């Protein structure tokens, strides 16, 4: 599933107005919520059946497609360039990302009451941010690989050696983990004492902040800084790298430009699909925080 599910659209949140100040004082830091109820994608039975069939098919195709990419790259004797190395890691993250949220979402279309335990909710939140964040960092590493390949072709094999590629891929996974653990720790320490209906189809930070029995404004700011800035900074880095690439192609022949751009086309499309939707959403949310 698209990495736009990563919550870079979060905004600073005030406590749920349905929880009285007296209730918050009496509860304090106590957590009385053992499960959350998801409102899901739709309440109509016909629409839920359509969602079940559509998302089941899409989920299976996504997982099988990514597994096919991983097997093909690892089994081939010719696909060992750094670009395919990063693509294999990206497919691995994208294979693990849908199971974090999609199976539960599909199962919920078959039941009337869509519940998830507190522990399951936190696990879902962590997994979605971990694999989603890792994808963004891997895309940035792939942009660096394309920059070196086009702008410094004579030094490409030296710069993008096996060791550096491994370090970039490993750093992407570590950065994704650090991003995710921060999001999870910020959420799990909040007190939940009353409302437990999540206005979403999976557990994410923003819907949970609305349910907390505390003032979550500061936590919301930290979440925006962590999630929103990661996507925004990564997007800016990607734009700069491709601007430099395009400028370097001006002195090349039309055939050289065509070959260079053909190697970047799929990466540019992936970047746009992953980063543009959440960037637009975070811009809209920050200007309309009441939504």
191 touches 25 (CB < 8 A): no
Does residue 117 form part of some domain? yes
Please indicate, yes or no, if residue 1 is contained in any of the structural domains: no
For position 213, what pLDDT does the model report? Answer: 87
Q: Is residue 12 part of a domain?
A: no
Task: Give strand ranges (E) for the chain.
Answer: 35-38, 115-117, 197-198
CATH of the domain at 44: 1.20.1070.10
d(CA 95, CA 247): 35
For the chain, the domain total comes to 1
6 assigned to some structural domain: no
Mean pLDDT per 10-residue section of the chain, whose length is 291 residues: 41 45 44 82 75 90 92 88 90 89 87 88 93 91 88 89 94 95 91 84 87 86 83 83 82 73 71 57 42 42
Inside any domain, residue 5: no
Range of the domain at 255: 39-281
| Phi, psi for 197 (deg, rounded to 5) | -90, 120
Q: How far apart are CA 64 and CA 70, in angstroms?
A: 10
First to last CA, the chain: 25
Using CA of residue 203, residue 209, residue 210, residue 212, what is the dihedral sign?
positive
């Amino acid at each position: 599933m698209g990495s736009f599910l990563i919550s870079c659209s979060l905004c600073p949140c005030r406590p749920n107005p349905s929880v009285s100040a007296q209730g918050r004082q009496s509860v304090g830091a106590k957590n009385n919520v053992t499960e959350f109820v998801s409102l899901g994608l739709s309440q109509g039975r016909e629409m839920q059946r359509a969602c079940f069939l559509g998302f089941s098919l899409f989920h299976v195709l996504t997982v099988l497609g990514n597994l096919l990419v991983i097997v093909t790259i690892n089994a081939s004797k010719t696909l060992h360039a750094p670009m395919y190395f990063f693509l294999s890691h990206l497919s691995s993250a994208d294979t693990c990302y849908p199971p974090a949220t999609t199976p539960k979402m599909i199962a919920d279309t078959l039941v009337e009451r869509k519940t998830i335990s507190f522990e399951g909710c936190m696990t879902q939140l962590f997994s979605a941010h971990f694999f989603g964040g890792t994808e963004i960092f891997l895309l940035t590493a792939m942009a660096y690989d394309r920059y070196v390949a086009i702008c410094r072709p004579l030094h490409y094999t030296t710069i993008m050696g096996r060791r550096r590629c491994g370090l970039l891929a490993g750093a992407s996974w570590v950065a994704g983990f650090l991003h995710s653990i921060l999001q999870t720790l910020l959420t799990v320490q909040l007190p939940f004492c009353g409302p437990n209906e999540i206005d979403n189809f999976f557990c994410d930070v923003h819907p949970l902040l609305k349910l907390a029995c505390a003032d979550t404004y500061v936590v919301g700011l930290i979440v925006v800084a962590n999630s929103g800035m990661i996507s925004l900074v990564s997007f800016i880095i990607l734009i700069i790298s491709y601007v430099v690439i395009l400028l370097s192609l001006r002195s090349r022949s039309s055939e050289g430009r065509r070959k260079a751009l053909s190697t970047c086309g799929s990466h540019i499309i992936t970047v746009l699909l992953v980063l543009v939707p959440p960037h637009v959403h975070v811009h809209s949310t920050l200007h309309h925080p009441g939504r």
